[in-house]
Amino acid sequence: MTHNISRRRALQTGAAATAVAAAAASAQSIASAGPAEEFPTEHAVFQHGVASGDPYSDSVLLWTRMTSHPEDYAGRNRGVDTTVRWEVATDEAFGNIVSSGTMRVTPDTDMTAKPEAVGLQPYTGYFYRFSVQDGPYKGQISPVGRTRTAPAAGQDMSELRFALFSCSNWEAGFFNAYRDMAQRGDVDYALCVGDYIYEYPAGEYTGKTGSLRNHLPANEIVSLADYRERYAQYHTDPDLQAAHGACPWIVTWDDHEVANDTWSGGAENHQPGDGNFIERRDAAIQAYLEWLPIRATPFSEGGHIYRNLSFGSLAELNMLDLRTYRNEQVSFTSMGKTDDTSRTMMGSEQFTWLAGKLQSSQARWNLIGNSVMITPILIPPLKQPEADAVTQLLGLPEQGIPYNFDQWDGYAAERRRIVKLMQENDIHNSVWLTGDIHSSWACDVPVEPGNYPAKGVAGVEIVTPSVTSSNIDDILKLPEDNPLSQTVESAFTNLNRYVKYLDMDSHGYAVVQVTPDYVHTDWIFMNPDGKFHPGAPLHYAKSARAYQGQGIRMSNQPLDVNAHSAR
């Protein structure tokens, strides 16, 4: 699970990105440049790696970005139309190519290519690559990636393993968690449940020791060119490239892919000087769809990113969009509005879609890719009938005071609708896979927070830590596992008894094993200063296991990495 990468190499990556950006900013547009053969011969076309995603049983999306010449930097519209060939093979030497094709890559999509490889076999591992077909760099070949299709409908599976990621801030640390996952060898698919990038300007949102590497562009990103450049920078990270190349990714966004605390009509840090919010949001979405291997179309074409993926008889995965349709967050002074039945997190169409998927699912488990916590975190949870008297007297939310109105706690009425739907339809197999909160949690999702455990559980929730984004100790510049963090952990777990595990300070990711009998999770953490050093190792921290209808329980039994090969 460890791998050494020199600090010099990491710094060279950042320096190279900076140099390319500077060159692009100062160069003249190449729209009227001379013939292609005038470009320098030493140039890497596939600077941003390769990726795959959204696997079906017979197909998978592939992705790359072609830097068509040295002055073709992301977001600058200076690319030259180029033909690329893609190939999928059963062997790394590409002796048995089973799917292939060509496509024209243009500046309209920021020189990104996202073909669908079809005609594949269910739950089968493949290798893939791209190659340049014309121009001065004809014959150049991309790195080789690994991908895997999903199991076929009804196919029985003894287990599947998912890596769960969230919140990777370029400036706050190095992406060692991505590298660790890429090297495990037992992960079938990676789930990113939000905050793949951060939109802040250079130096505004850093880590405990300040910015370890500066964001590009230096300004807060608001335009299509800005978002494209920021995605390009993240894709130069060698550990992120390794993770994308190791297995298919299944992604959804949270707020920082657009702006902090995004809602349907704005965001916390979108100011009048930033221009029209909807135009900014649409630019962010366009860049997201260009730079990630996701089966979705732009909103302007009637598209959406909430979607369902099936994994044989074992699991269905519903990936949610909890930003595009939600009402504006309530404030502390208007917290009673969390119980307003007209307020929505998901929007009516997405809610109806999810309800239908949960009710029609024949899979053993319903997995839900969820960007913000659904478990009620309340101060304190109130029991009936005391709750009625207190809330009526003080105008408080009926189930207790939320500590974070940006989570499902700020949309409590809609959460109760989901819980009621599950209860009425005898659905006890839901596992919410969540990020956002820069900490690690294992929770039962209670039917009634104040009457837990008597009223039972509606599902369980697994929350992955941040890859690098700041935790409490980072913000306060304290050591990890300090007395203040311990106090917060104790307070939340004591007041909310359905929270079975909470770690406020560690960075890393989670590995979720799905079997017919249970869902098991390992939390994999960096050492306290690990994110400050490229190549720092990670270690096993804790496990939890959930059985249908029985909630989640903690253990100290890690997965056997060698017992399941995803290669």
Instruction: Name the residue with higher pLDDT: 233 or 298.
Output: 233
Kindly state the percentage of the chain with pLDDT values over 90.
Answer: 80
Q: Which helix (H) or strand (E) holds 443?
A: strand 440-446
Question: CB under 8 Å to 321, separation ≥6 — which residues?
Answer: 252, 253, 304, 305, 306, 346, 350
Kindly state the percentage of the chain with pLDDT values over 70.
Answer: 89
Domains of the chain from N-terminus onward: 35-148 (2.60.40.380), 160-563 (3.60.21.70)
Indicate the average pLDDT of the chain: 90
Asked if 388 contacts 450 with a C-beta cutoff of 8 angstroms, the reply is no
Query: Distance between CA atoms of 57 and 148, rounded to whole angstroms?
Result: 9
Asked if 429 contacts 316 with a C-beta cutoff of 8 angstroms, the reply is no
- What's the 3-state SS for 393-410? HHCCCCCCEECCCCCHHH
Asked if 371 contacts 252 with a C-beta cutoff of 8 angstroms, the reply is yes
Measuring CA to CA, how many Å separate 64 from each of 24, 36, 49, 53, 396? 20, 21, 6, 12, 50
pLDDT in tens, 441-487: 999 999 999 899 999 999 999 999 999 999 989 988 999 999 888 98
Report the interhelical angle of 224-234 vs 277-291 (nearest 10°).
30
**Cβ count within 10 A of residue 528:** 15
Q: For strands 551-555 and 378-379, give the pairing.
A: unpaired
Segment 331-342 mean pLDDT:
89
Q: How far is CA 173 from the centre of its chain?
A: 17
Backbone angles phi, psi at 282, to 5 degrees: -65, -35
Token couple for 198: 């951060």
Token couple for 30: 């190449």
Measuring CA to CA, how many Å separate 471 from each of 172, 181, 394, 508? 11, 21, 32, 12
Question: CB under 8 Å to 440, separation ≥6 — which residues?
Answer: 463, 464, 465, 501, 502, 503, 506, 510, 523, 541, 542
Rounded to the nearest 5 degrees, what angle is found at the Cα of 474, between the Cα atoms of 468 and 476?
160
pLDDT in tens, 204-263: 999 899 999 999 999 999 999 999 999 999 999 999 999 999 999 999 999 999 999 999
Would you say how long the chain is, in residues? 567
Longest dimension (CA), the chain: 79
Asked if 119 contacts 99 with a C-beta cutoff of 8 angstroms, the reply is yes
Is pLDDT at 394 greater than 70 in this prediction? no
Asked if 75 contacts 228 with a C-beta cutoff of 8 angstroms, the reply is yes
**Cβ count within 10 A of residue 488:** 17
Query: Distance between CA atoms of 520 and 545, rounded to whole angstroms?
Result: 4
Token couple for 387: 């709750």
Asked if 220 contacts 198 with a C-beta cutoff of 8 angstroms, the reply is no
pLDDT in tens, 499-533: 999 999 999 999 999 999 999 999 999 999 999 99
Q: Which helix (H) or strand (E) holds 423?
A: helix 412-424
Half-sphere exposure of residue 431, counting CA atoms within 13 Å on the CB side? 32
Token couple for 204: 């505004």
| Local structure of 457: helix, strand or coil | strand
Segment 13-28 mean pLDDT:
33
Instruction: Name the residue with higher pLDDT: 343 or 567.
Output: 343
Is pLDDT at 31 greater than 50 in this prediction? no
pLDDT of residue 384: 55
Query: Distance between CA atoms of 211 and 178, rounded to whole angstroms?
Result: 19
Query: Distance between CA atoms of 550 and 428, rounded to whole angstroms?
Result: 9
pLDDT of residue 306: 97
Backbone angles phi, psi at 290, to 5 degrees: -70, -40
Query: Distance between CA atoms of 113 and 368, rounded to whole angstroms?
Result: 28
In which band, very low, low, confident or very high, does the pLDDT at 381 lie, cut at 50, 70 and 90?
Answer: low
In which band, very low, low, confident or very high, does the pLDDT at 385 lie, cut at 50, 70 and 90?
Answer: low
pLDDT of residue 465: 98
Radius of gyration over alpha carbons of the chain, in Å?
Answer: 23
Please name the amino acid found at residue 369. G
Please name the amino acid found at residue 271. Q
pTM metric for this prediction: 0.90
pLDDT in tens, 46-59: 999 999 999 999 99
Is pLDDT at 11 greater than 50 in this prediction? no
| Local structure of 410: helix, strand or coil | helix
pLDDT of residue 2: 36
Is pLDDT at 74 greater than 70 in this prediction? yes
In which band, very low, low, confident or very high, does the pLDDT at 399 lie, cut at 50, 70 and 90?
Answer: low
Asked if 544 contacts 535 with a C-beta cutoff of 8 angstroms, the reply is no
Backbone angles phi, psi at 524, to 5 degrees: -115, 120
**Buried b / exposed e along 285-322 (16+ C-beta atoms within 10 A):** bbbbbbbbbbbbeebeeeebbbbebbbbbbbbbbbbbb
Token couple for 248: 């298919």
Instruction: Name the residue with higher pLDDT: 389 or 116.
Output: 116
Query: Distance between CA atoms of 66 and 48, rounded to whole angstroms?
Result: 8
Exposed (0-12), middle (13-18) or buried (19+): which is 95, by Cβ within 10 Å?
exposed
**Cβ count within 10 A of residue 486:** 12
Token couple for 412: 């409590």
